Amino acid sequence: AVNDSEVTPFSVPSYACQRRSTLENHNAVLTDALSLLAEKAELSDEDGRGVAFRRAAAVLKALPSAVTKMSQLTGLPCLGEHSLRVIKDILENGASSEVESTKESERFKALKVLTGIFGVGSKTADRWIREGIHNLQQLRDSGQTLNRAQQAGLEHYDDIKQPVSLAEAEAIRGIVGKAVASVSSEAQIVLTGGFRRGKLTGHDVDFLITHPEEGSEVGLMPKLVSWLESRGLLLYQKTTRNSYLECSEGPGRPPSNIDRFERCLSIFKLSAGQTGSGVQSEETAASPSATERQWRAVRVDLVVSPISQFAFALLGWTGSKLFERELRRWAGHEKGMSLSSHALYDSKQVNGSKGSASAMEEKRSKLISCHVLQGRYIRASSEEEIFAHLGLEFIPPTERNA
Ligand code: CTP
Ligand code: MN
Ligand code: MN
Ligand code: MN
């Protein structure tokens, strides 16, 4: 055994967007535990705590080998007292009591089941739990009023909780690609989200669609949805139109983190024939009916972006969610810039002055920027350019799995 004084502590940069996070992870036991606590916090509306656990997990994911001693963690960023306690518990006892009791908790189990229904968030789930609803049967029996998304979510629950395979994602890529080509000969489509990061499974399939001629992307989404609907390929869809230009903030306001692209959240009807092989193997079938009916429901997200914002949209919709959050934090805290899925805004270039603005100056410029354009928007036509503007080394999609 190596004695503590010989242990070399690991070292990683503070922000996840400065690190290369591949899918392989040498500390899965620890990161699973921290991710579960993050999930518990997020389901309890404690977002700050959730992010803290996500950041801690991401630091461990970035380590080149397994952690065996607490002393190896000395000096690592983002590891708070609570996360360190959980790690210590696991290293010393093989498990974390907090994680184990969370897994057993009726409330946590109910929150997971209910928020697993498409269209149900933690607030709704919490209200139902307070009304004594802990599972799907109780929800069905309760006579609760469900909106259209929740009805579809409940109906296709077993299919949607089943991970989407890469083969299924590629099959859907083929169908949506054909639909896009049919409504516009020049429109382009890319697979984003987890599959672009090299994941072999996902909870949904994400696509970004654009047109090489600015403005020609307008009207694409309704045509695309009609094409798919007329062929019976959509079990559910809800389209939200683009609201970027109508936002009350006006063009002089730095972009907010919420993106306003035209989007379509849908549930696809994927036939067995379309994936080449069967939809599900006998072993993984969620229910006998799932194999008998020769199709399955798959969650699909479609987003349309104008070409001028495409690089930002691509970066923003590739994820991971933590990687995106860290990019925005880096931009804001380290560069005096504001990054969204629409644009990069340099708020420190006030009246041509260079160098980083003081917190006071930044606050002041934010206050008056509703009326006067203080900073400037930075154009970019590729992800590489955006990283360069942010002063970051380019991290390819497969290494954004923070
Ligand atoms: N996203 C977003 N706005 C939303 C929803 C998602 O900008 N309202 C972005 C997320 O930040 C993420 C990407 O879309 O970068 C994909 O989100 P999601 O499909 O939820 O996650 P994945 O990383 O694709 O993971 P999974 O494989 O589970 O789908
Ligand atoms: Mn790694
Ligand atoms: Mn996804
Ligand atoms: Mn998605």
Q: Whose CA is nearest to atom 16 of ligand 1?
A: 193
Coil, helix or strand at residue 263:
strand
Q: Whose CA is nearest to atom 1 of ligand 1?
A: 317
Mean pLDDT of 367-376: 57
Domain 318-399 has CATH 3.30.70.141: no
Residue 287: which pLDDT band, with cuts at 50, 70 and 90?
low
Q: Which residues contact 10 (CB under 8 A, 6 or more apart)?
A: 63, 64, 67, 72, 73, 76
Between the CA of 70 and the centroid of ligand 1 the distance, in Å, is 33
Residue 257: which pLDDT band, with cuts at 50, 70 and 90?
low
Mean pLDDT of 385-390: 98
Residue bearing the bigger pLDDT, 316 or 254? 316
Q: Which residues of 225-249 are buried (b: 16+ CB within 10 A; e: fewer)?
A: bebbeeeebbbbbeeeebebeeeee
Q: Please state whether beta strands 205-210 and 295-304 pair in parallel, antiparallel, or not at all (unpaired).
A: parallel
Beta strand residue intervals within 222-277, DSSP E: 234-240, 262-271
How many angstroms separate the CA atoms of 81 and 70, rounded? 12
CATH 1.10.150.110 domain range(s) in the chain = 4-102
Mean pLDDT of 133-137: 98
In degrees, rounded to 5, the angle at the alpha carbon of residue 237 between the alpha carbons of residues 189 and 202 is 60
Mean pLDDT, the chain, integer: 90
Mean pLDDT of 319-345: 97
| 249's tokens | 């903030």
Residue ranges of alpha helices (H) inside 231-348 are 288-292, 310-318, 321-335
Q: Which of 336, 149, 159, 123 is nearest to 238 (CA)?
A: 149
Check pLDDT > 80 for residue 204.
yes
Domain 164-312 has CATH 3.30.390.30: no
Round to the nearest angstrom and report the end-to-end CA distance of the chain: 31
Active site residue 32: no
* Residue-wise pLDDT tens digits, 25-72: 999 999 999 999 999 999 999 999 999 999 999 999 999 999 999 999
CATH 3.30.210.10 domain range(s) in the chain = 318-399
Check pLDDT > 90 for residue 227.
yes
Cα 205 to chain centroid distance, Å, stands at 12
Phi-psi region of 219 (alpha: psi -120 to 50; beta: other; left: phi over 0): left
CATH number of 4-102: 1.10.150.110
Backbone angles phi, psi at 257, to 5 degrees: -75, -20
Asked whether 301 and 204 are in contact (CB, 8 A), the reply is yes
* Residue with token string 């009805």: 151
pLDDT value at position 353?
Answer: 46
Residues whose CB is under 5 A from ligand 3 (ion)? 193-194, 202, 204, 206
Between the CA of 97 and the centroid of ligand 3 the distance, in Å, is 31
CATH 1.10.150.20 domain range(s) in the chain = 106-155
Asked whether 210 and 307 are in contact (CB, 8 A), the reply is yes
* Residue with token string 């880096």: 330
| 71's tokens | 């002393």
Residue 391, beta-bridge partner list: none
- Testing ligand 1's pocket by substitution, the residue of 321, 322, 328, 341 carrying the most ligand atoms inside 8 A of its CB is 321
Between the CA of 152 and the centroid of ligand 1 the distance, in Å, is 20
| 142's tokens | 């309760």
CATH number of 106-155: 1.10.150.20
| ipTM given for this complex | 0.95
Cβ-in-10-Å burial (0-12, 13-18, 19+) of 139 comes to: buried
Lowest mean pLDDT among 35-49, 229-243, 345-359: 345-359
Asked whether 222 and 204 are in contact (CB, 8 A), the reply is no
